[in-house]
Structure 1
């Protein structure tokens, strides 16, 4: 077995397994209702759990009562740039809660569609790892497919979305993304409102254009474009925002650096 070991335990989330599981279970108990419609994917934030865990959990609860062949996590690369999306072809990812198996059938299908198999770019990236403990608690034993996006332009992300739609079986897709990053709470709310409205419009080209024009902001904009393209191919009819907040609201302050967090689910 070739395993990716946890890199961000005790940084973005607790490294102690008992504490980590208890924190996620608390998020679940406080989450409230999730739509009972058939849901094929979600946007989930990837900040430290104390900031965005209460939002991210809603995105993960969307697959709680359905059986999927795999859960794909698409994250942006914060550390390096590359053109083609990458899929990790190792055997497992590990967190303090245990190991999750990578779905090699899905990996092979993605590679045949032109997605590059490359494990090295995943190790320094947190945006995928922070999603995994939620999966291990909410849907233990479900296989995963880690995918990372370097170039967030429309063409490469559309290619990824189309490749996802050709996978056999049922795939739940998590697009890992925070929203606004900056120093104005008012600007955060205004830009995030526009970003969310654009995502809810289910138009991958328009969302990509708004990102390029900097009218929308999302560090995982490319993963969201790929998810929107997959939703288009899958016949998704609507999307719903479940929860929004930002780091200033979480901390109870009105100044300083501010990051936006949202949970959006996509309904068939």
Structure 2
């Protein structure tokens, strides 16, 4: 079974050449950084809005692309309500840039957790994971993917998943999340700065739905970072008013890395 793209042509171009060219433009605008992150937090809106911010984290992977062959991707559910964390029966996920094979080995590692289960409906139309895939394909080329949609779950449960799949430099952890939604430009800047301070301080308990729609995945990464004495660093913090939208009602976007 192949999970087909749900938002190609709306969140990002459906034409492969246009899509690749757009991602390249975003990546080329980022100042080169030699050290590659082990884990990143990136936004998941339409590319014209959040693509430049996501690229601020993805561009840092260029130097490690040769060694990364597994990606664990966690994002929130926007359309289906459920408890726990949802994995997919699919054998691969498709984008305009090609098919990505799913990581059956890592999928098997987390299936023994009581809050992890198959729920294909959660994946079918979910954009929070899908919009990350062309960036990953552009940077990494070939890799195996473990896609996880987070429902009503805790940071501690996500942390348990990460304990099983963190592995070595061959594995990249990607957490998909936007920040504040539909505030004025000035209010969003204030709220997103506060959220960023919490993220960098690993204070995941202070995050709520208004802080970040992907707070479950973000919280899980922060819980793991706190447990293993890792640091999270913000590398970009903007909103839709800075990229392609008006400044009256904006959505906040942040890019964060664990090196």
TM-score calculated relative to the size of structure 2: 0.92
> What's the RMSD between the two structures over aligned residues?
1.8
Tell me the equivalent position of 1:11.
10
Say yes or no: does 1:221 pair with 2:222: no
Write the mapping of 1:100-139 to structure 2, written as runs, cut at 5 A.
Answer: 100-114=100-114, 115-139=116-140
The 2-side partners of 1:60 and 1:113 are apart by: 30
Measured after TM superposition, the shift of residue 191 of structure 1 is 0.5
The 1-side partners of 2:149 and 2:207 are apart by: 21
Paired residue total: 254
The 1-side partners of 2:34 and 2:157 are apart by: 29
Write the mapping of 1:69-218 to structure 2, written as runs, cut at 5 A.
Answer: 69-114=69-114, 115-152=116-153, 156-167=154-165, 169-170=167-168, 171-202=171-202, 206-211=203-208, 217-218=211-212
The 1-side partners of 2:100 and 2:119 are apart by: 18
Deviation sequence 1:208-233 (CA, Å, 0-9, x none): 33427x5xx11111110111123234
TM-score calculated relative to the size of structure 1: 0.89
Tell me the equivalent position of 1:262.
254
Structure 2 residue runs of 5 or longer lacking an equivalent are none
Deviation sequence 1:48-85 (CA, Å, 0-9, x none): 10111011112223333222341111110011221111
The 1-side partners of 2:46 and 2:245 are apart by: 16
Structure 1 residue runs of 5 or longer lacking an equivalent are none
- Which of 228, 241, 249 aligns to 1:248? It is 241
The 1-side partners of 2:136 and 2:207 are apart by: 31
- Which of 48, 52, 76 aligns to 2:46? It is 48
Measured after TM superposition, the shift of residue 252 of structure 1 is 6.6
The 1-side partners of 2:205 and 2:80 are apart by: 20
Measured after TM superposition, the shift of residue 234 of structure 1 is 4.2
Q: Contact 1:162–1:233 (CA<8 Å) still a contact in 2?
A: no
- What secondary structure, in the 3-state scheme, does the structure 2 residue paired with 1:112 have? coil
Q: Contact 2:204–2:223 (CA<8 Å) still a contact in 1?
A: no
